[in-house]
Amino acid sequence: MRGISKHFGGLQALKDVDLTLHAGELLAIVGDNGAGKSTLIKVLTGVYPPDGGSISLDGQPVRVPSRRASIDLGIDAVYQNLALVDYLTAPENVYLGNEIKRSVLGITVLDNRGMRKNAAEVLNERLGVALGNIDQMTFNLSGGQRQAVAIARALIQQKVRILILDEPTAALGPEEARRTLEVVQRLKGKDMGIIMISHQLEHVFELADRIMVMRRGRLAGVRTVAQTTRQEILGLIVGSISDYEADGGRSGASAPVAS
């Protein structure tokens, strides 16, 4: 993403924001409420059209006019509300809107057995999550299990190249948050790039390869985790240290590779 800007009436939510994500890495985006984090990923996933800037994938310009277009490009997101239907089972939620169908005596029916098998494989093998009774209603699942079902719904579709996780540990207790972090850790190191929005710097430093800091709709800086500290990231968040433009390019903040 290069030079992304977005207005809502007289409010400028984003101004000239750059973002680079590499295959196999986890990029954390941090910043105070209202910094523009969620708006930026909603531009990337086609929820909002940008007012300026460009998006490219593998060096080729792309347009993302809708959520369907972003999914077709291999870009999907798990938002904080998860958007699960409580009175459906895990497989039914995983395939909601993308159900597998088969023909029986010329009649098209849902392939419930196939969806159940595939959903269980993604949850167990890719995410390391066992639900016990996979046919129970989703409202009976724990917070961490529900998060895993929402992630599985993104992974079950065509090859996901970019997975966006919006506050994946929000509203979870310590044990459930730990299990969710383990799920995210299992996804790292593949061909897929992961963007994680989080207010939990402890989780960010545990999982991320690089940290992108936003402040007041602008890019405040980018740091490689191995070359920064929590104090420096907090300083960028609140604006108590030099911003990105005055940074001099240290700690991986120089464009374009780490921007």
Q: Is the CA virtual torsion 246, 256, 193, 60 positive or negative?
A: positive
Write down which residue in 157, 183, 200 finishes a domain. 157
Residues 18-69 have pLDDT tens digits of: 999 999 999 999 999 999 999 999 999 999 999 999 999 999 999 999 999 9
Written as six digits, the tokens of 139 are 């409202």
What average pLDDT does the segment 227-235 reach? 95
64 and 169 in a single domain? The answer is yes
Handedness of CA 141, 143, 147, 148 (dihedral sign): negative
Type and span of the H or E element at 150: helix 143-155
Per-residue pLDDT, averaged over 228-257, amounts to 64
181: CB partners within 8 A, 6+ apart: 169, 203, 206, 207
The distance from CA 3 to its chain's CA centroid, rounded to whole angstroms, is: 20
Count up the domains in the chain and report the number.
2
Same domain, 150 and 165: no
**Shared domain check, 164 and 225:** yes
In the chain, pLDDT over 90 holds for what percent of residues?
66
| Whether 165 and 55 share a structural domain | yes
Q: Which residues pair with 211 in a beta bridge?
A: 28, 223
Cα distance between residue 107 and residue 91, in whole Å: 22
pLDDT at 104: 83
Find the mean pLDDT for residues 143-163: 88
Q: Range of 257's domain?
A: 1-74+160-259
Q: Given 157, 180, 211, which residue is the final one in a domain?
A: 157
Confidence check: pLDDT of 7 > 60: yes
Residues 166, 70 within the same domain: yes
Q: What is the pLDDT of residue 245?
A: 41
Instruction: Give me the CATH number covering residue 164.
Output: 3.40.50.300
Do 56 and 173 lie in a common domain? yes
Q: What is the pLDDT of residue 243?
A: 52
Task: Mark whether 238 and 187 lie in a shared domain.
Answer: yes
Answer yes or no: do 25 and 101 share one domain: no
Check residue 79 and give its pLDDT. Answer: 86
* pLDDT at residue 242, as a whole number: 55
pLDDT per residue as tens digits for the range 75-130: 999 988 888 999 999 999 999 888 888 888 888 888 889 999 999 999 998 888 98
Do the beta carbons of residue 218 and residue 19 sit within 8 Å?
A: no
Both 168 and 140 in one domain: the answer is no
Task: Check: CB of residue 41 under 8 Å from CB of residue 78.
Answer: no
Q: Tell whether the model's pLDDT for residue 248 goes beyond 50.
A: no
pLDDT at 256: 32
* Domain co-membership, 204 together with 116: no
User: Among 44, 50, 30, 40, which Cα is nearest to 214's?
Assistant: 30
97 and 225 housed in the same domain: no
Give Cβ neighbours of residue 59 (< 8 Å, ≥ 6 apart): none
Same domain, 153 and 164: no
Instruction: Choose between 242 and 183: higher pLDDT.
Output: 183
Residue 250's pLDDT band (cuts 50, 70, 90): very low
User: What confidence tier does 247 reach under pLDDT thresholds 50, 70, 90?
Assistant: very low
pLDDT band at 206 (very low <50, low <70, confident <90, very high): very high
Residue where a domain terminates, one of 157, 180, 213: 157
